[in-house]
Amino acid sequence: MRWADLAFEPIGERTGVYAERSVVKKAAWEFADMERMLESAEALYGPYRWGRYDVIVLPPSFPFGGMENPRLTFATPTILAGDRSLTALVAHEMAHSWSGNLVTNATWNDFWLNEGFTVYFEHRICEAIYGADHMGMLSVLGAQDLMATMERLKAEGHASDTRLHLDVTGRNPDDAMTEVAYEKGCAMLRTLEAKVGRPVFDAFLRNYFDTYAFQSMTTERFIAHLREHLLEPNNVTFDVETWTEGEGLPADAVMATSDRFKLVEAEIARWTMGTKARELATKGWTTFEWMHFLRHLPATMSTEQMKDLDEAFGFTASGNAEVLVAWLQSCIRNDHDAAYNKLDQFLNTVGRRKYLVPLYTDLIATEKGRLMAQTIYRSARSNYHAVSVRTLDELLAWKDSKPPARF
């Protein structure tokens, strides 16, 4: 057994990071805004009640982005992008110190009370530190994830899982833990904010956390509190059951927009009309803009187009996991052989389920990809956490049999 050689680096008076010695300096630089995040969170919704807030960066096999253990968040190393662009995850796990650890969902059916509140809170922390444009882009990307998830659930015959208030009777709760709880829950809170105004809504949320501190919460209990302390005093009409019990996204949902993404879409249009990638106006783009760019490229592209993009922007060599995975998905769908060595390397070294599932899913859509997926999985499986293995064994119909032919 190998024991990690952990070291600690302080960030602020109450914040710091643990990681292996080879990683800890990089992580401390990446998480430089942690103390500011904590101060912003307290300014929004009341004092931090857990003493310290530290993060430990775990090995690449860790299957989640983060896990909000009180006082010590477990985090994936895939957020160490080298430019502090993926640390919204830290804001998210920190927000769980209120929505999740302070007031906790009573059952897995009420999971949205943890995650929907936390995404909303995360966005508010990021807005306070990085500005409204940053928060807008983050919110739009989340909405894209939500719509894709709801379309998939409906196509798979699981439309009931697009409700906020779940029914996981007789099921593994993990099977129903999707972007719906996170992003639809956030959209509900954003819609409530729009109806009553931010100052009123912030006062309501702070009172909610104070009133139910160190207690568990059910959906029914929250709805009663919402009516008594927000809707009725402010004479607001809001059909909360349409949100919690209804499928899909209600018609009154207030969704985020981003002017900066409109500029990205204009550059995509220029490229599809024949402008070379190196001539596009991409200077100063953030990770979010690159993610939006990659998500909205044409579904079908030629080898020449893929080569043009990669030569201009170096996607295959990117150290940013979000950008790289979005690019690798395009490579799989367009059978771009030049990126397959990188795909093999990534799947053999990263165990975060958020990335593994879409990459393997895209691979098994073709016979060539299925053989590739089986070959890679055979070598990578032992490096994955049991949570990821369970999901991928089912996805790939995995049987430990004769190795498939090389692709």
Residue 357: pLDDT over 80: yes
Q: Which of 172, 116, 183 is nearest to 148 (CA)?
A: 183
Superfamily of domain 105-244: Neutral Protease Domain 2 (1.10.390.10)
Average pLDDT over residues 132-144: 95
In the chain, residues under CATH classification 3.30.2010.30 are 6-87
Query: In one letter, which amino acid is 160?
Result: S
Q: Does domain 6-87 have CATH number 3.30.2010.30?
A: yes
Tokens 């919704």: give the residue: 45
Average pLDDT over residues 201-206: 98
In the chain, residues under CATH classification 1.25.40.320 are 259-395
Q: Domain 259-395 maps to which CATH number in 3.40.50.9100, 1.10.3720.10, 1.25.40.320, 3.40.50.620?
A: 1.25.40.320
Which region, left, alpha or beta, applies to residue 41 given φ > 0 means left and ψ of -120 to 50 means alpha?
alpha
- Any idea which residues carry the catalytic annotation? 93, 182
Tokens 């990021």: give the residue: 126
Residue 4: predicted pLDDT: 67
In the chain, residues under CATH classification 1.10.390.10 are 105-244
Residue length of the chain? 407
Residue 313: pLDDT over 60: yes
Average pLDDT over residues 308-336: 97
Which region, left, alpha or beta, applies to residue 46 given φ > 0 means left and ψ of -120 to 50 means alpha?
left
